[in-house]
């Protein structure tokens, strides 16, 4: 009988995460070259990893949604500011707001300037 230990599961999870980071870094280089040109490969991977971690904190879990958030971070400096602008905090810290709704509200504000 095949037995999968926690260490095996962790190794598989790490491999999957590494694959996502590699794919996303390549995607950013191809689709948003001007936005990421100042980042070498190691810094770009770190950028993707940091935004992916932020997505988890905000409840954004679906891979396609995480990809969209990473693209927003690459294109819009407001999301990279620390501390976050008040309007961003209002969106992401609203109690029990689903991750997809957070993402849609961020996009609406960033693309169209619509108040949330």
State pTM to two decimals. Answer: 0.83
User: What is the spatial distance between Cα 62 and Cα 59, in angstroms, rounded to a whole number?
Assistant: 9
How deeply is 55 buried, as exposed, middle or buried, from its count of CB atoms within 10 A (0-12, 13-18, 19+)?
A: buried
Lowest pLDDT segment from 8-12, 32-36, 54-58, 101-105: 8-12
pLDDT tens per residue, range 8-19: 565 555 555 678
The predicted model gives 56-79 an average pLDDT of 96
List the chain domain ranges: 10-112
State the CB neighbour count (10 A cutoff) for residue 78. 15
CA separation for the pair 102, 19 (Å, rounded): 25
Tokens, residue 50: 């940091």
Q: What is the pLDDT of residue 64?
A: 95
């Amino acid at each position: 009988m095949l037995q999968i230990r926690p260490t095996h599961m962790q190794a598989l999870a790490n491999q999957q995460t590494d694959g996502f980071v590699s794919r996303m870094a390549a995607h950013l280089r191809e689709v948003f070259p001007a936005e990421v040109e100042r980042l070498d490969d190691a810094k770009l991977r770190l950028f993707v990893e940091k935004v992916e971690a932020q997505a988890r904190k905000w409840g954004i879990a679906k891979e396609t949604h995480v990809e969209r958030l990473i693209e927003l971070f690459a294109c819009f400096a407001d999301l990279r500011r620390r501390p976050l602008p008040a309007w961003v905090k209002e969106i992401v810290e609203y109690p029990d707001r689903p991750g997809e709704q957070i993402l849609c509200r961020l996009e609406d504000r960033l693309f169209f300037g619509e108040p949330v």
